[in-house]
Structure 1
Amino acid sequence: MGIDKALAERKGREFCGISRETIASSNSRRNRRRQRKKPPVQMLFETCKVVFASAGTGFVPPPQDIDKLRSVLDGIRPEDVGLRPDMPYFRTSATQRVPRIQYLHIYECEKFSMGIFCLPPSGVIPLHNHPGMTVFSKLLFGTMHIKSYDWVVDMPPESPNIINPSESQTREMRLAKVKVDADFTAPCNPSILYPEDGGNMHCFTAVTACAVLDVLGPPYSDTEGRHCTYYHNFPFSNFSVDGLSIPEEEKSAYEWLQEREELEDLEVNGKMYNGPKIVES
């Protein structure tokens, strides 16, 4: 029995020694893996390359790819792209007529683009569309009011959804339905809009200083018919239209949108992106 006990103690010491060595080796491997871990913005770039590999006008990624990209976006924090709320991007000056918005260009190719809008308090990106595009937006910090619309396309044939409000106005108005009209505060889920639904037309208003990471697939392209159009919006009740009837309790969910040309309420400056760089392979 004494010999057996001594043998057991020796084997136990050997086992413990091997375990410590194994643990140390395992920890070392884990540390090397951590050191080799890709920056989140690099992971976003590589995910976009896969998700938008076949992107063209009207392209919508399959559900599993949407979930994959949404998950990567959800994990990105301001520090991952080199941003802090106290940076000059998010301040206003008394001499500015309208709050100046900064756009940090991260990457763009014919399939997708990545960039960050930096808005000071009260900064506004006016109502605009994303023709034939799927767009992912991640609010990195701050509080922002988002109002978005989709065109009304399911009205009965006898119900007009396009009108010319008066002879003095040459630009027609088209009926749209409000999809979102609410404040969002980070951290919150990324938003996704699609070519035909999900709020393809939207307006951003900064309640506080905020930053929005945008991924567009494919990006705007005048030559391919993806031109950014801006709109004025008017309450549904502003105009009476023969043959168009909407229940009174639903009227607030509909508005008339009219294309606009002058953007006196928008000033966007391009700035250098100084976060982790994209490595193309």
Structure 2
Amino acid sequence: MAKGSSVQALYELCRRTFTSSSAASASPQAIRKISALMDTITPEEVGLGDGLDDDRGLGFFGSSPFNNPNRTARWAQPITYLHIYECDSFTIGIFCLPTSSVIPLHDHPGMTVLSKILYGSMHVKAYDWTEPSFIARSGNSKNNPVRLGKLQKDTVLTAPCPTTVLYPKTGGNLHCFTAVTSCAVLDVLAPPYSEVAGRNCTYYHDYPYSSFSTGEEPVQPDKGEDHAWLEAIEAPDLYMRSGAYTGPAVQDRAL
């Protein structure tokens, strides 16, 4: 491992910042330091100088995936995950998405997540739960209750662009990624998902605000564009595989 590599520096900064008892409550100053470091990391520094082959298959942009972000194209090439480091307090890894692939709408319970687009363009749609929370039920008893979310982001991000940060209750804790072009995202999750700790990943479908009413709060037209009802759904069958990380390895050591 090359001493002073950006990946090693990211690991060491995360290790100083996140502990098993306070991984999701790091200070804003510490998060800004990690974000600033991630801003400087290039694809070449993590072994992606030439990107990954984008054998994109048929794609599905003709059916407007942005209007249905939970849809996954079964004929698309798989999303590749490159594992860099994991401990009880945080994980570091890279998601490589071929054109038109989707990571459906999902949450990050009690977690802080930093995401840096290394190359390419990605559509990001993100929500936070409203406070106080509003719950509604549809007329179909088979459906799960839906909960009101406020839209925080609905845009296309293209590298190079600043690292984005989401927090347990702000910043777009529930998000969906759609690859506009072949792209890669460097992710830091603190703390990582854990069934034992109750941090399970839940997937959602979003419905227009006008679709439901709580019975307590009348439907307000002005909320139509920036609010949606989110329904928990079964985990989708994601087309994802593990890949070989070829960048500088992390030397796990006491600081």
TM-score, scaled to structure 1: 0.80
Equivalent in the alignment of 2:165 = 192
Alignment partner of 1:65: what SS?
A: helix
Equivalent in the alignment of 1:79 = 44
% identical aligned pairs: 45
Report the aligned-residue RMSD: 1.9
The match for 2:32 among 67, 70, 79 is 67
Cα deviation digits, residues 172-229 of structure 1 (max 9, x gap) = 1111000001111111110000011111000001101100000000100000000000
Give the whole-Å Cα distance in 1 for the aligned partners of 2:233 and 2:32.
35
Equivalent in the alignment of 2:8 = 42
Unaligned runs of 5+ residues in structure 1 are: 1-35, 156-160
Change (3 A) 1:275 1:55: farther
Asked whether the equivalents of residues 136 and 215 of structure 1 are also in contact (C-alpha less than 8 Å), the reply is yes
Alignment partner of 2:225: what SS?
A: helix
Letter in 2 for 1:256: W
Deviation at 1:271, TM superposition (A): 1.3
Larger Rg: 1
Pairs within 5 Å for 1:62-211: 62-88=27-53, 90-93=54-57, 97-154=75-132, 161-211=134-184
For the pair 1:238 / 2:203, whether they are aligned, the reply is no
Pairs within 5 Å for 1:218-229: 218-229=191-202
Asked whether the equivalents of residues 133 and 195 of structure 1 are also in contact (C-alpha less than 8 Å), the reply is yes
Unaligned runs of 5+ residues in structure 2 are: 60-73
Alignment partner of 1:116: what SS?
A: strand
Deviation at 1:99, TM superposition (A): 3.5
Give the whole-Å Cα distance in 2 for the aligned partners of 1:147 and 1:79.
28
Change (3 A) 1:184 1:241: same
Structure with the bigger percentage of helix = 1
Equivalent in the alignment of 1:263 = 236
Deviation at 1:280, TM superposition (A): 1.6
Tell me how many residue pairs correspond in the alignment: 238
Equivalent in the alignment of 1:276 = 248
Letter in 2 for 1:147: K
